[in-house]
Chains A and B, each alone.
Chain A
Amino acid sequence: MSDAQAHDPSIEEFDTAPGDEHLDGSGVAQGVIGYLVGLVLAALLTVVSFLLPAANLVWPPSIPVALIVLAIAQMGVHLVFFIHITTGPDNTNNVMALAFGVLIVFLVIGGSLWIMSNMNHNMAPMSGTMQMGP
């Protein structure tokens, strides 16, 4: 065909998996520090979510909301420090995949909850004596 360059070094640079060390072997220390920071943050969030309901620090009805916030923060820590989702130019596919995944999860879980609650609402009320089944 034409004189194509099969091995473009600049492409090679971008062709590493997220979180890989550089090809020359540098960046291992940086990587370890990243994982340690992630571990500390994740552990911290876990500990807080156990302490919060027990410690009587916040207004009790707000505890479920606080736990949800902590859970989402936990997911964020995992994504950034362990799964290496960043906003870098070589990371667009991962961000897009994450967005697609979140959208599908939202559609399927949200849709299922909506559909099933609607069906439960429409069901004729069953008394305890009207047990179906064999």
Chain B
Amino acid sequence: MLGKLSWQAIPFDQPIPLFAALIVIATVIAVLVVVLVKGWLPYLWREWITSVDHKRIGVMYTLLAMVMLLRGAIDAVMMRSQQTFAFRAPGYLPPEHYDQVFSAHGAIMIFFVGMPFVIGLANFVVPLQLGVRDVAFPTLNSVGFWLTATGALLVNLSLIVGEFARTGWLPFPPLSETTYSPGVGVDYYLWSLEISGVGTLVAGINLVTTILKVRAPGMTYMRMPMFCWTVLASNLLIIAAFPILTATLAMLLLDRYLGFHFFTNEAGGNMMMFMNLIWAWGHPEVYILVLPAFGIFSEVVSTFSGKPLFGYRSMVMATMAICLISFMVWLHHFFTMGAGGDVNAIFGIMSSVIAVPTGVKIYSWLFTMYGGRIRYATPMIWSVAFMITFAIGGLTGVLLAVPPADFVLHNSLFLVAHFHNVIIAAVIFGAFAGYTYWFPKAFGFRLHEGWGRLAAIFWVAGFYVTFVPLYIVGLEGMTRRLQHYDVAAWRPWILIAAAGGVLTAIGIGLQIVQLAVSIRRRDELRDETGDPWDGRSLEWATPSPPPAFNFAVLPNVSGEEPYWGVKQRARDRLKLSEEPEYEAVEMPRNSPTGFVCAFFATLMGFSLIWHIWWLVIAGAVGAYATFVAFAWRDRDEYVIPAETVARIDRANRQAREAALARLRRDQ
């Protein structure tokens, strides 16, 4: 009846996971009780869970990423503290648990922190920057988000019911085959990534279609803000690369469930093919994460330097060059697997070549700052920290791209330090810069500056104190994923790295304080005009938070930086442009399709992991029925009357008028 599921799946004999599980369950129950008692459920259901508004979905993606960042950070703290105690001692985490911790840390940070963070920011910002009212496929967007949430839920469920993979963040066979990993850990990994992978693909298709087909009148490609270009490149990579991941993991699933031999040792299987395919996805994935972050830095650096982005066209070229070259370098992840010198040389050269367009970008940001009137607000602090830190990470990357050097450094902590150096510096700092930069747009009040700067300083210091020692022990020969060690020379560096972990944890704590303080003092941090940073692109033309329809009248774009042009005209003439004629606006109706689909997908994923076959069938039928019900729906839009549109837009015009009046007084 319940397949492999029994009471033995609950880790009663292991205090650490049991305790963690109890805390998670208690928190979830507490949140549910508060929501029910306060009567917030109807509001949440109506305005958020069933919402197809790209802004709401973007906020939910970002929230998911931040919650999962806490989970991944706890894993990181556990690894650092384990290595602190495990010098000539077993430490406090047994090997089978430590292996789950590092596997979960990597998988969560990439799939459930990095991905939802960049997709969430893109979802929120791209339609606003393009000057349109919604994405191309609003309901599909909601489906994509909820499937991603399903994946995250399954990964966290593995904490309580059963176990997670012990195979590293990518489940390399033959270790991940049933012979060596008979438990449900790898199945948890595979099914949560298959389901969330579909969600990511759907989000990618939606954003590419939006950017190619849904733009304001006059918004030609070469007038799009840089962030839209990087999101376009990133989502083209999603469409091209994620099917490879899905297919590769599906082959491993066939091996595990139906006795196929794609990647087994015997019967003609070839596990090297798994490395090849998984990295054919894995390297583009790096750029899927990092390109939108580059876009965020472009927006932030240009806004806070008070100048247009330097070398816009070469930035576009560099972005699209990275989009293509990122598909030609994947072998550098397995130089040591045994390919010949010519193969390694070609991929080594291509890996160095991809540093060129990235270098172009760094220079463009520096020249954007050059001669500008720079304001060091929190997003700008993250950006400068990124440029310095990322340059170091990029250089160690070029070093690792040289095959002979890679043979020495492969799987050492030097490699671990390198990829944390690029991913934390670019993706995490970029996500935080974007979060601080667009927060007032989403919620109508700014985040507190002082706490934000302090958090940034602790994060950056924490990063260096953690990972510079790891570079050094990597050069001294320490390999990654060690549960315990007995080399005395590594000891001091590991202790310093632990101190860095503490600094980063303080940084995260300060960010939570910043959010709490900002919410309590929201009235003094209020953004009245909708343009808190003196921005340049169209999202700042809307009020904060923007109404459901974003723009009362679609903007007519006549050049680069359209909002800056309109604003300069208003400042020169000291008055706003004429009030437009308002028309009624049609918007898509909310739909529970995404949530219901994800509910059935969760049932299906869980029952597939535990071999509960009747529930698999029930879940599949439910998901298909949801799709059919959605397809038969005949009322899919509602109309916002012209008077409502006018009322909302006039309120914002009044706020902007008041700002102009202040400007007139000052002159």
Report whether chain A binds chain B. yes
Question: Given A1-B553, A116-B273, A122-B338, are A111 and B280 neighbors across the interface (CB < 8 Å)?
Answer: yes
Which residues does chain B contribute within 8 Å of A5, judged by CB atoms? 217, 556
A118 CA / B118 CA spacing, docked (Å):
37
Q: Is A131 a contact partner of B338 (Cβ separation < 8 A)?
A: no
**Pick the contact of B327 from A104, A115, A118 — CB < 8 Å?**
A104
> Which of A8, A108, A118 neighbours the largest number of chain B CB atoms within 10 Å of its CB?
A108
CB-CB under 8 A for A107 and B554, given A1-B580, A8-B217, A112-B280 = no
Interface string of A94-134 (1 = CB under 8 A from B): 00000011011001100110111011011100000001111
Task: Beyond the given A100-B240, A134-B179, please list 17 additional residue pairs across the A-B interface where CB-CB is below 8 A.
Answer: A1-B551, A1-B580, A4-B216, A4-B554, A5-B217, A6-B217, A15-B213, A93-B213, A101-B240, A111-B328, A111-B331, A115-B276, A118-B342, A118-B343, A119-B272, A119-B337, A133-B266
Chain A residues whose CB sits within 8 angstroms of the CB of B213 once the complex forms: 15, 93
List the B side residues contacting A112 at CB < 8 Å.
Answer: 273, 276-277, 280
A131 cross-chain contacts in B, Cβ below 8 A = 266
Is B477's CB within 8 Å of the partner chain A? no
17 contacts between A and B (CB under 8 A): A1-B566, A2-B555, A3-B578, A3-B581, A4-B553, A5-B217, A6-B553, A100-B240, A107-B328, A111-B280, A111-B330, A112-B277, A118-B339, A118-B342, A118-B343, A121-B340, A133-B265
Question: A1, A93, A115: which has the most chain B beta carbons within 10 Å?
Answer: A1
Give the Cβ gap from B210 to chain A, nearest Cβ, in Å. Answer: 12
Which 4 pairs of residues, A with B, have the shortest CB-CB distance? A133-B265, A4-B556, A133-B266, A1-B555
Is B212 close to A, CB under 8 A?
Answer: yes
In angstroms, Cα B413 to Cα A123, docked, is: 28
Q: Name the residue of chain B whose CB is nearest to the CB of A94.
A: B212
B577 within 8 A of A: yes
Contacting residues, chain B, for A122 (C-beta < 8 A): 338-340
Within 8 A of A (CB), among B333-362: 337-340, 342-343
- CB neighbours (8 Å) of B331 from chain A are 111, 115
Which residue from B276, B342, B556 sits with its C-beta under 8 Å from A1?
B556
Quick one: given A3-B553, A4-B554, A119-B337, are A114 and B343 in contact (CB under 8 Å)?
A: yes
B135 close to chain A: CB less than 8 A: no
Do B555 and A100 touch (CB < 8 A)?
no
Residues of A in contact with B (beta carbons under 8 Å apart): 1-6, 8, 11, 15, 93, 100-101, 103-104, 107-108, 111-112, 114-116, 118-119, 121-123, 131-134
Residues of B within 8 A of A3 (CB): 553, 556, 578, 580-581
Is B503 an interface residue, CB under 8 A from the partner? no
What is the bound-complex CA distance between A8 and B555, given in angstroms?
Answer: 14
Asked whether B236 is an interface residue with its Cβ less than 8 Å from the other chain, the reply is yes
Q: Is the CB of A108 within 8 A of B343?
A: no
**Residue B68 lies at the interface, judged by CB distance under 8 Å to chain A:** no
* Bound-complex Cα distance A7 to B236 (A): 29
- For the complex formed, measure the closest distance between the CB of A96 and the CB atoms of chain B, giving whole angstroms: 9
Beta-carbon contact of B212 and A93 below 8 Å: yes
Task: Assess whether B339 is in contact with A104, with CB atoms less than 8 Å apart.
Answer: no
Residues of B within 8 A of A118 (CB): 339-340, 342-343
Please, which residues of chain B bring their CB within 8 A of the CB of A115? 276, 331, 339, 343
Q: State the CA gap A6–B277 with chains docked (Å).
A: 46
A131 to B269, CA, bound (A): 13
Q: Closest residue to B180 on the A side, CB-wise? A: A134
Identity of the chain A residue whose Cβ is nearest the Cβ of B327 in the assembled complex: A107
B532-556 CB contact bits vs A (8 Å, 1 = yes)? 0000000001000000000101111
B217 to chain A, nearest CB (A): 6
For residue B273, which residues in chain A have a CB less than 8 angstroms away from its CB?
Answer: 112, 116
A11 to B219, CA, bound (A): 13
Contact B340 A1 (CB under 8 A): no
Taking CB atoms, residues of chain A closer than 8 Å to B328 are 107, 111
A11 partner residues in chain B, CB cutoff 8 A:
217
Point out the residues of chain B lying under 8 angstroms from A104, CB to CB. Answer: 240, 327
- Closest Cβ neighbor of A101 among chain B residues: B240
Residues of B contacting A119 in the complex (Cβ-Cβ under 8 angstroms): 272, 337-339
Residues of chain A with a CB closer than 8 A to B212's CB: 93
- The reply to whether the CB of B244 lies closer than 8 angstroms to some CB of chain A is yes
- The reply on B636 being an interface residue by CB < 8 A is no
- Given the contacts A1-B580, A4-B216, A93-B213, A108 and B244 also touching, CB distance less than 8 Å: yes
Instruction: Give A19 Cβ to nearest chain B Cβ, in Å.
Output: 16
B580 neighbours in A (Cβ, 8 Å) = 1-4
Contact assessment for A116 and B272 in the assembled complex, using a CB-CB cutoff below 8 Å: yes
Q: Scan residues 145-192 of chain B and give those whose CB is less than 8 A from a CB of chain A.
A: 179
Q: Which residues of A contact B339 (CB under 8 A)?
A: 115, 118-119, 122
Cβ of B643 < 8 Å from any Cβ of A? no
Among B568-614, those with CB < 8 Å from A are 577-578, 580-581, 583
CA distance A116 to B270 in the complex (A): 10
CA gap between A2 and B212 in the complex, in Å = 23
B460: min CB distance to chain A, Å: 37
Q: Contacts of B340 on A, CB cut-off 8 Å?
A: 118, 121-122
On whether the beta carbons of B553 and A132 are closer than 8 Å, the reply is no
Q: Which residues of the partner chain A approach B217 to less than 8 Å between Cβ atoms?
A: 4-6, 8, 11
CA distance A55 to B140 in the complex (A): 50
Cα A131 to Cα B324 in complex, Å, equals 41
Give the Cβ gap from A88 to chain B, nearest Cβ, in Å.
15
Closest to B330 in A: A111
Q: Are A108 and B337 CB-contacts (below 8 A) given A2-B556, A6-B583?
A: no
A113 to chain B, nearest CB (A): 10
Contact present for A100 and B236 (CB under 8 Å): yes
Bound: A48/B398 CA distance, A = 52
The answer to whether A1 and B577 touch (CB under 8 A), given A108-B244, A112-B280, A122-B338, is yes
